[in-house]
């Protein structure tokens, strides 16, 4: 009987409180049993956002891996080109040294050139020095050509 009198004594606000407590206990009990109630679909939204972040992270990781791979390939290409250049430079120096030695030991090495031919060769020499100022014999070179002699010695006034 006493329970009936308590139920009659509850005000509408009391009934709302009792209903809230009963709903909370029911939700806790149902949640413990594995039931989920998500009327706003928040769990799906969180899952989709997490998957999008994971996909973006994978994409960034793949892009970084591709960038590192391209960088390594570029470094290998640069090293290969540098090696080719050094081999070409060594071969050119070897051929040039042989040509210089042959020219200095030639029978006509001491015969002066006529003026027109000397001017022609001097013009070519200036053009080479303009294109590559670090060549031997140029003003910007570290050492003069042929022991300090001029690159082309002019001859008589036959031109």
Query: How high is the pLDDT of residue 158?
Result: 42
Q: What are the CA-CA distances from residue 104 to residues 92, 151, 159 (Å)?
A: 18, 12, 24
This prediction has a pTM of 0.40
Query: How high is the pLDDT of residue 2?
Result: 63
Give percent of the chain above pLDDT 90.
21
Whether residue 89 has pLDDT greater than 80: yes
d(CA 27, CA 33): 10
Whether residue 119 has pLDDT greater than 70: yes
Least confident of 65-69, 77-81, 96-100: 96-100
Residue 4: pLDDT band with limits 50, 70, 90: low
Contact (CB, 8 A) for 114 and 156: yes
């Amino acid at each position: 009987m006493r329970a009936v009198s308590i139920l009659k004594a509850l005000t509408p606000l009391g009934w709302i409180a009792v209903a809230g407590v009963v709903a909370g206990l029911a939700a806790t009990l149902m949640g413990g049993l594995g039931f989920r109630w998500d009327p706003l679909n928040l769990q799906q939204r969180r899952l989709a956002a997490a998957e999008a972040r994971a996909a973006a992270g994978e994409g960034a990781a793949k892009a970084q891996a591709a960038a590192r791979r391209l960088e390594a390939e570029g470094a290998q290409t640069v090293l290969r080109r540098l090696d080719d250049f050094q081999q070409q430079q060594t071969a050119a120096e070897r051929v040039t040294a042989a040509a210089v030695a042959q020219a200095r030991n030639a029978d006509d090495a001491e015969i002066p050139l006529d003026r027109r031919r000397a001017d022609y060769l001097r013009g070519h020499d200036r053009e080479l020095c303009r294109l590559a100022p670090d060549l031997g014999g140029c003003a910007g070179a570290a050492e003069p050509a042929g022991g300090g002699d001029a690159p082309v010695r002019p001859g008589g006034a036959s031109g």
